[in-house]
Structure 1
Amino acid sequence: LFQYHKSIGFLVLTLAVPRLLWSLFSRRPRAFEGEGLVSRLAARVAHAALLFLTLAVPLAGWAVASTSPLQIPSYVFDLIVVPALPMAISDQAEAFWTEVHATLAYLAAIIVFFHVIAALWHHFIRRDPTLRRMIPYLAPADNERGASPQK
């Protein structure tokens, strides 16, 4: 099970790099009219945190495997062996990176939970097209509900 866990982590890390680049070089969605500054700021902070965590969580996991005195090789879906990071090997380093990995993973889960809650709040309470534009085949037209450029 640990090898599958590590395989998924390496897959997430591999997919997170182009996702981060896409985010850096793509246009931001427009804010809807009436969308407050706090809401826009919260969305930006949550998105930045999620982008950071999709890189940081797998990297911290890789650090756990790299610093473990057991030195068990990491096989990605039994296809390739991923080399260890050049880090000091010790029980203390492994314990530290295990704590970092777990803390970041739980933080990511909490942010995802609140992100889902916010999307549902926009959909069912505010009744704006935020959730629909997050789902590509349900995306509203740009001019729906008076969208204006985000600053």
Structure 2
Amino acid sequence: MDSTNTSAARYSRGAIVLHWLIAVLIVLNIAAAFVSEEMSKDDRATVMANHKAIGIIVLLLTVLRIVWRLMHRPPPLLESLKAWEAALSRVVHAGFYFLMLAIPLTGWAMSSAFSKGAGVSLFGLVTVPALPVGYDKPTAGLFAELHELLAFGMIALIVLHVAGALKHQLIDKDDTLRRMVPWMN
């Protein structure tokens, strides 16, 4: 593929930066949630405060990514994709957008309910106000269950997404991965 076709087939720089930044933050937050379960109460509180802050940042970056996508049309899917691959790609990406909004929102609602209306501190720089939800245990429990269920859905989508990317790179040997990986020319 010549350089003009390669650059035309790639996502915009903004989309690439947002993709990888959000991806890293999501993986960090998933890891933090799992490792914090074995920590002392004080250490867990510190990790979860960072988890909440990162979650709010993911929410904000996702809104920015949606605006970016509306303003910068993504490249078309490769013509070599089978119909089922194109359909699955669209479903997985729609699922990601849904979860990148729903997971932070349910986490924020859970935090609001558990803390009885206290805001979320973004690393001590600014406090994001609590959401107007019921500040009781049943409400907090509902949002906790939703948050966890959606997070496991995110893990499943990440595995599917990475498996698809590796399939295209290692088996199909097409340009799918090149479109989003900044160091691949």
TM-score, normalised to structure 1, is 0.85
Q: 1:69 to 1:9 in 2, by over 3 A?
A: closer
Q: Which runs of 5+ in 1 are unaligned?
A: 140-151
Structure 2: gaps spanning 5 or more residues: 1-46
Q: Match of 1:138, SS? A: coil
Q: Give the TM-score taking structure 2 as reference length.
A: 0.70
* In structure 1, C-alpha distance between the alignment counterparts of 2:145 and 2:112, rounded to whole Å: 14
| Residue 84 of structure 2 corresponds to residue 11 of structure 1 | no
Cα pair 1:69 1:90 within 8 Å, conserved:
no
SS at match of 2:89: helix
Report the residue type matching 2:184 in the other structure: L
Displacement of 1:104 after TM fit? 0.8
Please name the residue that 1:143 is paired with: none
What is the count of residue pairs matched by the alignment? Answer: 139
Counterpart position of 1:144? none
User: Aligned runs of 1:37-116 on 2, under 5 Å?
Assistant: 37-68=83-114, 71-116=117-162
Structure 1 residues 36 and 86: CA distance shift in structure 2, 3 A: same
> Residues of 2 paired with 1:25 and 1:107: CA distance?
28
User: Is contact 2:118–2:129 with CA below 8 Å preserved after alignment?
Assistant: no
Bigger helix fraction: 2
Calculate the aligned-residue CA RMSD, in Å.
1.5
Q: Which has the bigger relative contact order, CA under 8 A and spacing at least 6?
A: 1
**Separation in 2, partners of 1:73, 1:83:** 4
Partner AA of 1:128 in structure 2? D
Distance 1:44 1:95 in 2: 32
